[in-house]
Amino acid sequence: MNWSGGKDSALSLYRAQQQQVPVQALVTTMSAAQDRITMHGVRRKLLEQQAEATGLPLRTIELPEQPGMEVYNQTMRHACEALKADGFTHSVFGDIFLEDLRQYRETQLAPTGIAPLFPIWKADSRELLKEFFTLGFQAIVICINGSHLAKSFCGRLLDESFINDLPSSVDPCGENGEFHSFVFDGPIFQKPVAYTKGDLVYKEYPAPISEKDECYRAPQPAAGFYFCDLLPAT
């Protein structure tokens, strides 16, 4: 299971298990320098507690700070080759409707012989959230893209009130990267993951630019994100 710790991967894991897919491990990409989940910014300790709560072993892929695509692809390819050597045949993803992302995953996995699975693919975002809430999942929003949402959305519980307050331009599941979440309870967990809320942090990341872009396009503004730092309660 490609595990980000957020709602989409949690619901995908639940569906895969309900479909009798024998998921045997959680795989998460980590920022080695920050010791946190890439993009989500969640501390390693909380990720480990999530994995413990699911009863599944955790495997992490350690990435350097802001790796280029060549380094990223090479690192991921080596990780997939190691998983294949250990007997893994399929990889579960929580993607919903981004066709280019699915195609990228399929293309990158093809040489390794690992087949991708997409349990929530093409599902309606609002219906997915209804299922998420009905099943008893609980999550907190831990990262928002400042170009799509106000700072006040970061650190809120992911509930119906949060969804109702979203601008119409934002996908209810944040599929376009508008926000990310941390799931701390639900039917895939043997016990809740305890945490406390820490500081709200703002970070900017340079927009990725290819060599072709550098020739024809002026530099793009950095992307700004707000992160709610979560602290392990124990």
Tell me the DSSP string of 133-175. HHTT-EEEEEEEETTTS-GGGTT-B-SHHHHHHS-TTS-TT-T
Three-state DSSP class for 176? coil
pLDDT band at 66 (very low <50, low <70, confident <90, very high): confident
The pLDDT of residue 216 is above 80: no
- pLDDT tens by residue, 92-126: 999 999 999 999 999 999 999 999 999 999 999 99
Q: What percent of the chain has pLDDT over 70?
A: 92
Chain mean pLDDT for the chain? 92
pLDDT band at residue 205 under the 50/70/90 scheme: confident
Model pLDDT, residue 222: 59
- Residues β-bridged to residue 60: 28
pLDDT-derived band at 67, boundaries 50, 70, 90: confident
* Alpha-carbon span 136 to 17, nearest angstrom: 16
Paired tokens of 71:
């380094």
